[in-house]
């Protein structure tokens, strides 16, 4: 449940920040009449994300066991690739998110309503599809949809609240540090998803080595115990992994985490204004919008 809460919080906060910056910019520039297309784009993105999740869930139910495992394992690898790209991208661009979105929104305003809808849809849709894919994999791994779904809904709810507080200027945190720490935790979660995906491919006979167990501590950490369930729900922990799972987990986790935590700010980041570094671009934009709308 924790891993899904983290996914919901992280992806939801990215989407919430994008929306609050777009809304704040329109309010600040006197374009309140352009807000409906933004909300329309957000609504379409949410609908597409839900449809994608439903297609994954119901579209695979009639397949054979091996086909389901093959699809599940393949989509695990896709999910890990998307999440890995996302955490690196967000760490790099957190301080410059406001400027990038302002440029896109200026162009969209010049092009009309359709461009505004598209801007909001693309900004939110990517996070929604990533969330649907990641949560679907978690539901399949857990064998019970209640915990993962509750976790992701709580995470999304928290992110919406944080986005609103940013917009009202009531909350200021260093988003660069926030996305660094949550990104590091997501890399650990993604390593577990990748290992579980490899196990699915082994069960589908796509990859060999299903019976070559690296160790088996099921007696010490029973999968049906509360702590076994917690470890599985948080890190996709498996008490009897294969050698290939352990190798893939380590080969992904160690270099990816070292690269992510060891990345230095670029020259552009180092030269960024202090406001973008401390209060963050999103918080500054939302605070400015709230202040001007109140005058």
**What one-character-per-residue DSSP string does 171-231 give?**
----HHHHHHHHHHHHHHHHHHHHHHHHHHHHHTTSSS-TT-BS---TTTS-TTSHHHHHH
Residue 29, CA distances (Å) to 20, 21, 25, 280, 285 in order = 14, 12, 6, 20, 12
Q: Tens digits of per-residue pLDDT, 227-254?
A: 776 677 667 788 899 999 999 999 999 9
Query: For the chain, what's the residue count?
Result: 295
pLDDT (0 to 100) of residue 24: 78
pLDDT surpassing 70 at residue 100: no
pLDDT greater at residue 117 or residue 62: 117
pLDDT tens digits, one per residue of 277-286: 333 444 444 4
Return the minimum-mean-pLDDT range out of 40-49, 73-82, 201-210, 279-288.
279-288
Phi, psi of 263 (to 5 degrees): -65, 135
Region 1-22 average pLDDT: 76
Least confident of 86-100, 197-211, 248-262, 267-281: 267-281
Which helix (DSSP H) or strand (DSSP E) does residue 36 occupy? helix 35-59
Q: Supply 97's token pair.
A: 């998110």
Residue 265 gets which letter from DSSP? P
Displacement of CA 184 from its chain's centroid (Å): 12
Count Cβ neighbours within 10 Å for each residue of 210-223 and write b for 16 or more, e otherwise: eeeeeeeeeeeeee
Task: Evaluate if pTM is beyond 0.85.
Answer: no
- CA angle, 203 as apex, 198 and 205 as ends, to 5°? 95
Contacts of 162 (CB under 8 A, 6+ apart): 13, 16, 171
pLDDT digits (tens, 9 = 90+) for 52-79: 878 877 777 767 878 878 888 888 888 8
Q: What is the largest CA-CA distance in the chain?
A: 69
């Amino acid at each position: 449940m924790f891993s899904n809460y983290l996914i919901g919080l992280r992806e939801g906060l990215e989407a919430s920040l994008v929306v609050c910056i777009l809304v704040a910019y329109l309010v600040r520039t006197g374009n309140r009449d352009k807000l409906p297309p933004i909300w329309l784009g957000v609504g379409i993105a949410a609908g597409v994300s839900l449809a994608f999740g439903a297609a994954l869930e119901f579209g695979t139910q009639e397949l054979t066991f091996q086909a389901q495992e093959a699809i599940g394992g393949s989509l695990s690898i896709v999910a890990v690739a998307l999440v890995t790209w996302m955490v690196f991208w967000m760490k790099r661009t957190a301080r410059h998110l406001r400027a990038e979105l302002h440029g896109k929104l200026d162009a969209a305003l010049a092009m009309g309503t359709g461009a505004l809808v598209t801007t909001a849809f693309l900004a939110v849709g990517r996070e929604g599809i990533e969330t649907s894919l990641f949560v679907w994999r978690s539901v399949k791994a857990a064998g019970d949809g209640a915990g993962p779904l509750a976790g992701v809904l709580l995470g999304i709810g928290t992110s919406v609240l944080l986005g609103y507080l940013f917009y009202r200027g009531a909350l200021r945190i260093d988003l660069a540090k926030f996305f660094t720490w949550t990104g590091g935790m997501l890399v650990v979660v993604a390593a577990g998803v990748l290992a579980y995906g490899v196990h699915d491919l082994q069960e589908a006979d796509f990859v060999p080595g299903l019976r070559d167990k690296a160790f088996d501590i099921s007696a010490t950490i029973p999968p049906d115990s509360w702590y076994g369930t917690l470890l599985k729900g948080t890190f996709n922990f498996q008490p009897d992994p294969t050698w290939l799972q352990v190798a893939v987990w380590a080969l992904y986790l160690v270099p990816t985490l070292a690269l992510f935590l060891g990345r230095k700010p670029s020259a552009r980041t180092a030269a960024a204004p202090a406001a973008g570094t401390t209060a963050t671009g999103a918080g500054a934009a939302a605070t400015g919008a709230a202040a001007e709308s109140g005058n």
